[in-house]
Structure 1
Amino acid sequence: MTKVKAAVVNTAGSDYVLEDLELAEMHPDEVLVKMVASGMCMSDETIRKGGTSVAFPIVPGHEGAGIVEKVGSAVKMFKPGDQVVMSYAYCGQCQSCRKGRPAICDDWMKLNFLGVREDGSHTFHNNNGTPIKNLYGHSSFSTHSLVHESNLIKVDQDIDLRLIGPLGCGFLTGSGTVINGLKPESGSSIAVFGTGAVGLAAMMAAKIEGCSKIIAIDIHDSRLELAKELGATHTINSKIEDPIAKVQEITNGKGVTYSVDTTGVSPVMKTALTVLSKGGVFAPVAISKNNIEVIPTTDLIMAGKSMIGVVMGDGIPQLSIPQLVKFYKEGRFPFDKLVKFYKFEDINQAAKDSVTGQVIKPIIIIDEAYSK
């Protein structure tokens, strides 16, 4: 068995603990990946705190990037030495997958949140033989991981793996919500509520898609300044300005064609719906238990407005992530301005800095010997 060091959460709400674990024997459809780095997503924090149905103990992490060391006998698309990014797992066989929408795969929850392989076995065990759950089929907070082939996306050999793990979730979600979900016309207008990793990715994508008015709404001036640098044409600090009135002013009383909410806060989500123009489309993307009150007649029907659900950017990771890498190389998706690197042993500090908003996108460097 392969020995690994991984960040384990043993009980809901407990800190990450670096533990020596053992990886199970490789299945024919799996790949052994040496992890270089992993982004830290707010979903990891929600899971750590026990805010989901995921069981403990678990090795979180789902924005990994690494190098293929070994492939199973049935693996056809990868070979040792390939550089890869990890994203969500999907079956590839259900109606949604066959239609090119693997983010709503029939088995998505089972494959990504049950914490075990399809046959019920575990990939991680501690020294006492206790099984440890995985996340998203790969658990990137580990020095090595066994990953199903469907989780992997091959990337160019010249790209820095320390940087690109977050393309597997947070940046994919924000950019894909715009590119694949809303599909804005060139010259249209969009408002993005919340300027964290997902919101800023949405704004960068809106600029790529040719939106003429890109309005960033937040309560932190420092983040709004960064939003301007990344593509926002207008900013609103909703702590001191009425966002509804301000959007009306910016759009000459019409409202925006599209809106995205990344906060999951009930009043903010309702505002994101309210600021739409006639025929406008709202995408709430935060994983939140909060509700909003919608009166169909006045909020939707009479103005022809609509709300859409978009999960994981509604993208096919094997297509969307190389596209984002291309945009990055062209200088059109400068997500590197949002990240801060942390050593593996400082993972708990990274989590705290993410929750407080001190850092937009923490990246944990797992292999400090890696260089590009």
Structure 2
Amino acid sequence: MKTSALLSRGSAPTELVTAELDDPRPDEVIVRIEAVGVCHTDLVTREALGNTPAVLGHEGCGIVERLGSSVTSLRTGERVVISFASCGRCGQCRAGHPAHCGWATALNGSGRRLDGSPTIRVAGEPVYGAFFGQSSFATAVLADARSCVPVGDVPPEVAAPFGCGFLTGAGAVLNVLRPGPDDRLLVIGGGGVGSAAVLTALSEAVEVVVAEPVAARRALAARCGATAVASLDATLPPLTHALDTTGRPELIRRALGLLQPRGVLALVGLGPAELALEARALLLRGLHVRGCVEGDAEPSVLVPELLQRYRQGRLPVDRLVTTYALSDFDRAVADQQAGRTLKPVLLPDRG
């Protein structure tokens, strides 16, 4: 079927083009996209691919339009969030940790299906697609049914970022760090992932400190109930847990130095491949450092829980979202990088 899609080539301006999707295989579905979040991983991947033509996007939300012949978990007309792809069969998936699926790299980052077949073509030629099992910078996508989570009547622009960014921040708190009411959490970086972590921790009655250089983001965190500082050079209270969303080695090392004995630091930011840490401090102070992918979440379990908190007013993630037309991708990215927007979400119907 035909779809309009944002085609990117490295740092060149994106182009809205007509593309063709494959028909769904037995375990796949076609989803008409109503909203799609813009995530830092999209931008990193666009740069890494160079001039390779690609359709990215991995925080899609929309209406199921077509079902593969073996799909029984979804129905047409149902609104779903599309999260990352996983096989559902390997040891990690069976243990409830699909973010660490044995096929995660191939399913989410190869640009094709596992068997090497393309899912999307432009002018008859295959392009890099199937990004995180979806490539949702488009008006319609082909996705694995396993990646789709029903979300009911939640507005699509609110639900979409739960496919990755909001899921990552919230899951890092609930599944990895697990602070309690007597703990104090430091969140480094107040972007989409960090802000979702802040709101989730506050919903757990955890005291939160946010380190964020952008004044508008600090103000938002403060309005939500967190303590906000411009940098880690500020005088901070004792900290039991920390979450780094920046990937910057100097901030990670500084965070470890600020933690109380037996403190826990989770890393979700993409940064340099190597990071030098002081082993003696880790050993003598009993510190823990945890990597965290996609909030170590099972989306079919955590996304409904988080959306229920949103419905109850405990997780006001709608405060984080600014919407743009699909064709305004480049402006959305520029606004995010300038700090004018926290979490941009694209609306294809406005493209």
What is the TM-score of this pair, normalised by structure 1?
0.91
Residue 5 of structure 1: aligned partner: 4
| Structure 2 partner of 1:237 | 230
Counterpart of 2:12 (choices 1, 11, 14) is: 14
Aligned ranges 1:122-137 → 2 under 5 Å? 122-127=118-123, 129-134=124-129, 135-137=131-133
Match 1:41 to one of 33, 39, 42:
39
| Cross-structure match for 1:145 | 141
* 2:270 is aligned with 1:287: yes
Shift of 1:56: 2.3
| Paired amino acid for 2:5 | A
Structure-2 residue corresponding to 1:363? 345
Q: Does 1:225 align with 2:219?
A: yes
AA aligned to 1:26 is P
RMSD: 1.6
Q: Alignment partner for residue 277 of structure 1, among 260, 268, 271?
A: 260
Q: Paired residue for 2:285?
A: 303
Runs of 4+ in 1 over 4 A off after TM superposition: none
Q: Matched residues in 2 for 1:118 and 1:75: separation?
A: 19
The 5 Å alignment of 1:326-365 reads: 326-365=308-347
Q: Deviation per CA, 1:18-44, whole angstroms, max 9, x where unpaired?
A: 111111122111101111110101111
Distance, in Å, in 2 between the alignment partners of 1:256 and 1:159 is: 35
| Alpha-carbon shift at residue 291 of structure 1 (Å) | 4.0
**Structure 2: distance between partners of 1:93 and 1:137:** 16
Distance 1:54 1:27 in 2: 30
- The answer to whether structure 1 residue 85 and structure 2 residue 81 are counterparts is yes
**SS at structure 2 position matched to 1:136:** helix
Q: 2:241 aligns with which of 253, 258, 268?
A: 258
Q: How does 1:92-111 map to 2 (within 5 A)?
A: 92-111=88-107
Distance 1:55 1:185, change over 3 A: farther
Q: CA deviation at 1:294?
A: 1.1
Give, as a single letter, the amino acid of the residue that structure 2 aligns with 1:288: G
- Following the alignment from structure 1 to structure 2, what is the Cα–Cα distance between the partners of residues 79 and 55? 38
Identity %, equivalent residues: 36
Structure 1: which amino acid aligns with 2:194?
G
Q: How many residues align?
A: 350
Aligned partner of 1:16: which letter? T
Q: Is the 8 A contact 1:178 1:205 kept in 2?
A: yes
Alignment partner of 2:195: what SS? helix
Q: CA deviation at 1:186?
A: 2.2
**Aligned 1:65-76 pairs, distance under 5 A:** 65-76=61-72
How far apart, CA to CA, are the structure 2 residues paired with 1:5 and 1:125?
A: 11
Offset at residue 75 of structure 1 (A): 0.6
Distance 2:35 2:135 in 1: 12
Q: Is the 8 A contact 1:55 1:133 kept in 2?
A: no
Q: Give the gaps of 5 or more residues in structure 2.
A: none
Alignment match of 1:170 (pick from 165, 172, 175): 165
Q: Which amino acid aligns with 1:222?
A: A
TM-score by length of 2: 0.96
SS in 2 for 1:49: helix
Write the letter of the residue equivalent to 2:203: I
SS in 2 for 1:206: helix
Q: Structure 1 residues 164 and 37, CA, compared in 2 at 3 Å: closer, same or farther?
A: same
CA displacement at 1:160 relative to structure 2: 1.3
CA contact 1:63–1:86 (8 Å) conserved in 2: yes
CA shift in 2, pair 1:92/1:54, >3 Å? farther
Which letter maps to 1:268?
Answer: L
Deviation at 1:15? Answer: 2.0
Q: Tell me how far apart the structure 1 counterparts of residues 80 and 329 of structure 2 sit (CA, whole Å).
A: 22
| 1:237 CA drift (Å) | 1.7
Could you tell me which amino acid in structure 1 is paired with residue 176 of structure 2?
G
- Structure 1 residues without counterparts, runs of 5 or longer: none
Distance 1:32 1:355 in 2: 32
Change (3 A) 1:188 1:165: same
